[in-house]
Structure 1
């Protein structure tokens, strides 16, 4: 009996040690918003879209969610859903730095993330802790429990036209219109996570693609998009605006 008890205790110890031996590190994601490779400047710098409209940006915010790191063999490390929702706010530098802890060690060649809140967690499932952050940043519709995935505002002047303001708010509207988008990016230099190490991944967001990408959007034709079928076109454009800059 003593021998049997010793064997059981040994097995328990080995299993415990195995759990403790999982190597983990930290990944810092940095989001850099720009227009045609030039850093964005709120309220000051003017840009021109393909519709020959000059515009300045007064507010730029978007929700990043459901972050997954992928190895070359296809194995995935999904960051815990409850902790995987963030607001990137161009006005607040710290919001553009997302620190992910307890990432399993390994070599990762892709990253996948969402823009917005997916229907399975819409509006509150598993992400109730994100509500205060979204509310503080004005990323909740005032008349509904839904989220704004993108909040993009400013002023514009069409060629030979009258100046005005624009407001592009994109979100999902119940089950009728799902604007949640996922993006998968190749990490060309490989993101290597070691035990106790900190790795950095810089992601560029080219804001010009909100207007000009899969679809071309003219502000003169429509400068206010909220609960609108055209929000789907903006969401499809947003899906194309991210690229990997650097890893280290």
Structure 2
């Protein structure tokens, strides 16, 4: 009966006298850097607020009520190439300031490149496949069931064509871009490159100049005569697309 006890004691003694090197755990992979994009909508350089009256080109009384758009195929651009960071983001600038995080490799970056809208392979996927929290869910109000595709930019509001009026803004403004024709690529390059470090957060600011959606030095949307587009009015949809592209500034 004593032999098992003696055997266990000897085993413990031998184990305590081992002199071989301890096993070193394999190093864990470094955590990617985080690029935090702060989205700041503005009107004429001031914080933008939905359902607030502003002046559109021609001194027209105007308010934006809903304003959303897709950025897709978001890539970080370096001197040597690109890195895909996100397939799609929906920016609802009508809700004010927001932010989103992108996982990115350590490095020095010239800026971001993204699609304004959705590329063909995403635009014509089945919206029912996406959960309620996905940016392409039918719950976002961005899906055109009649076109089996998505709105790329949704810009809804109201206006009064009389600059001197004091009554309600009753005339509707509703311009929605979509279809492959309106898809374009946006280069978001700040004045200087930015760097990212594994395990750390780098902050950048995306300024959305909402007033520029209606007017840029190159083009102006007259809200009195150009106020409706839902898939058929390509000249107006493309004009809005070009203005939005010019009004996104990364800092």
- Counterpart in the other structure of 1:14: none
Tell me, yes or no, if structure 1 residue 241 matches structure 2 residue 247. Answer: yes
Show the 5 A alignment for 1:1-248: 21=29, 24-44=32-52, 46-71=53-78, 73-79=79-85, 83-92=86-95, 96-101=98-103, 103-124=104-125, 129=130, 132-134=134-136, 135-159=138-162, 163-172=170-179, 178-213=181-216, 214-227=218-231, 228-229=233-234, 230-245=236-251
What RMSD, in angstroms, separates the aligned Cα atoms of the two structures? 2.6
Cα drift, residue 51 of structure 1 = 2.6
> Which consecutive segments of 4 or more residues in structure 1 shift more than 6 A?
none
Check conservation: 1:23, 1:105, Cα contact below 8 A. Answer: no
d(CA) in 1 for partners of 2:29, 2:147: 46
Partner SS state of residue 178, structure 1: helix
Q: How many residues were matched structurally?
A: 216
Partner SS state of residue 148, structure 1: strand
| Cα offsets for 1:7-56 (capped at 9, x unmatched) | xxxxxxxxxx89x6566211111111111111111112x22222321201
d(CA) in 2 for partners of 1:93, 1:211: 18
Cα drift, residue 118 of structure 1 = 1.2
d(CA) in 1 for partners of 2:92, 2:237: 20
- Counterpart in the other structure of 1:8: none
d(CA) in 2 for partners of 1:234, 1:91: 17
**Cα gap change, 1:84/1:130 in structure 2, threshold over 3 Å: closer, same or farther?**
farther
Gaps of 5+ in 1: 1-16
Partner SS state of residue 117, structure 1: coil
d(CA) in 1 for partners of 2:131, 2:56: 34
d(CA) in 2 for partners of 1:168, 1:39: 22
Cα drift, residue 181 of structure 1 = 1.7
Cα drift, residue 166 of structure 1 = 0.8
Instruction: State TM-score, norm by structure 1.
Output: 0.78
d(CA) in 1 for partners of 2:224, 2:246: 23
Check conservation: 1:33, 1:205, Cα contact below 8 A. Answer: yes
Instruction: State TM-score, norm by structure 2.
Output: 0.77
Gaps of 5+ in 2: 1-25
